[in-house]
Amino acid sequence: MGKHYTSEEKGRALLLVREEVQEHGSGTKACSAASSPLGISKDTLRGWYRRDEVDWGPYVALTLGTASGGAPRSTQPPGRLPPLTH
């Protein structure tokens, strides 16, 4: 059975993947680049990244997650955007 990750670990991993997407221009390349430093397989990261894209859209994490200094965004269900923090 595989390792289970907390929502906080997933959120931090997705923030790193999104930063890598800006550098590499591709979600697949970003997941490969982020997998080694995180110690999480690239396939696991890619699955999280794809699910996040479906749930939140391609740019929500960048506008909401990093706007408050890089803190992970809320894990509220899709359709309810987390509150903005300044």
pLDDT tens track for 6-44: 989 998 999 999 888 888 888 889 999 999 999 999 999
Count the neighbouring beta carbons within 10 Å of the beta carbon of residue 80.
Answer: 8
Residue 69 confidence (pLDDT): 47
Residue predicted with more confidence, 31 or 73: 31
Domains of the chain: 7-65 (1.10.10)
Task: Give dist(CA 67, CA 26) in Å, integer.
Answer: 22
Contacts of 1 (CB under 8 A, 6+ apart): none
Residue type, 46: R
Q: Which letter does DSSP use for residue 62 in this model?
A: I
